[in-house]
Amino acid sequence: MASVELRNIVKRFGGNTVIDNLSLTVASGEFLVILGPSGCGKSTLLRMIAGLETIDGGEIRIGDERVDTLPPGERGVAMVFQHYALYPHMSVRENMAFGLRNVGVDKAEIGRRIENAAAMLEIGQLLDRRPTQLSGGQRQRVAIGRAIVKEPRLFLFDEPLSNLDAALRGRTRVELARLHQRMASTMVFVTHDQIEAMTLADRIVLMNAQKIEQIGTPMEIYDRPATEFVACFVGTPKINLIPVSIAADGMRPLTLTLGDGAKITAGFNPARLPSTTSYRLGVRAEQIMVTAPEAGDTRGQVEVVERLGDRTLLYVKLADGTSVVAEDAAASRAVEGDAVGLGFRNARLHLFEENGRAHHADSLEPAAACHA
């Protein structure tokens, strides 16, 4: 178990700089998830830590040792890939033992490590099978077991659940969380799936366009997004973005005017907002109350009703044509074509400037973006 520190990392492919002056620290024993869309640089970052990609500037430290000049096998890391990369002609036991044999680990020690890892992952009954006799989830557990037996200082996971079906992904997420609790190891996990990030991470590093957009705990990322990109990337359904204008009178609480003319008040501090009067109001579906038409802050017509069992989502069009998703009770009686009122929970609103910077109604300060 060891900490990881990336200091001013630079990575170029030809003349194209894909990572520029990025710094990041992973605490010892932390489960850190690097989240972001395809092409944002998250897998490149992981491969640089593993030694599978060189760096063009900066340094990488694991524990108190600088490792960016070391080959992959000397860094004390174990990596689990999206594709299981198991040898099809070998049994599970042989796959798990292969790397240890190559570095000369004693046969008895290899057997002990395999038995311990198999018990931890509940694959003891699979040790004599070959990969072709296993399900996708079982193969992934074997790949994780092959990493565990190395007893590394650091575990690296590169989208390891993306080849599994939805139900199996859910079960494997729970298994990974339990594994981290049992081993208390440092783990860095790359994914484009926000659910994996929210459910597994101690902290999330959200990347966009080869830079760090924000670092925080899952609920910090969700409740206090630093930018509009963060707010839109995390959360299902996607956060509502509603064009609003504000009165430039410096009064508090602030009055926001929606495109349909409705006015709502919110606890933003006008002194902290730039002089422009045009913003996008960000509000999540669960922060919009569905009311009788005459009782809400604004009103609209239901276009689509999505019943999810534990809740109902209403897709509502406002008078100016803006579409809003609101969360209603599981037993909602709303149907397409209904007129409904919408009430905003003012303490949980966000304002986004034209450049995407966020301000939160429950704070005097804008969120601190972390562009590395």
Q: Is residue 366's pLDDT more than 70?
A: no
Q: What is the greatest pairwise CA distance in the chain?
A: 78
Residues 194 and 212 placed together within one structural domain of the fold: yes
Contact at 8 Å (CB) between 316 and 340? yes
Q: Is residue 68's pLDDT more than 80?
A: yes
**pLDDT, tens digit, for every residue of 178-193?**
889 988 899 999 999 9
**pLDDT, tens digit, for every residue of 225-243?**
999 999 999 999 999 999 9
User: What distance lies between CA 367 and its chain's CA centroid?
Assistant: 18
Contact at 8 Å (CB) between 208 and 229? yes
Residues 207 and 236 placed together within one structural domain of the fold: no
Residues 261 and 208 placed together within one structural domain of the fold: no
What gap in Å lies between CA 318 and CA 339, rounded to an integer? 10
The DSSP line for 75-91 is TTEEEE-SS----TTS-
Radius of gyration in angstroms for the set of CA atoms belonging to the chain, rounded to a whole number: 25
Overall size of the chain counted in residues? 372
Category of 208 on φ-ψ map: left (φ > 0), alpha (ψ -120 to 50) or beta: beta
- Alpha carbons within 13 A on the beta-carbon side of 48: 29
Residues 196 and 250 placed together within one structural domain of the fold: no
Closest to 145 in 3D by CA, of 171, 116, 104, 173: 116
**pLDDT, tens digit, for every residue of 210-229?**
899 999 999 999 999 999 99
Q: Tokens at residue 167, please? A: 């139900």
Q: In degrees rounded to 5, what are phi and psi of residue 341?
A: -95, 155
Pairing of strands 358-360, 350-352: antiparallel
* 347 domain residue, yes or no: yes
Could you tell me the residue range of the domain that residue 9 belongs to? 4-227
**Mean pLDDT to the nearest integer, 12-19:** 91
Residues 220 and 236 placed together within one structural domain of the fold: no
Q: Tokens at residue 357, please? A: 């910077």
CB atoms within 10 A of CB 222: 18
What CATH number should be reported for the domain holding residue 181?
3.40.50.300
- Alpha carbons within 13 A on the beta-carbon side of 21: 3
Residues 149 and 174 placed together within one structural domain of the fold: yes
- Report pTM: 0.90
Residues 29 and 156 placed together within one structural domain of the fold: yes
* 182 domain residue, yes or no: yes
Q: Is the dihedral of CA 328, 334, 337, 339 positive or negative?
A: negative
Q: Is residue 147's pLDDT more than 50?
A: yes
Show which of 184, 210, 227 is a domain's final residue.
Answer: 227
* 104 domain residue, yes or no: yes
Show which of 199, 227, 255 is a domain's final residue.
Answer: 227
Residues 70 and 38 placed together within one structural domain of the fold: yes
* 319 domain residue, yes or no: yes
Domain count, the chain: 2
Closest to 296 in 3D by CA, of 325, 263, 331: 263
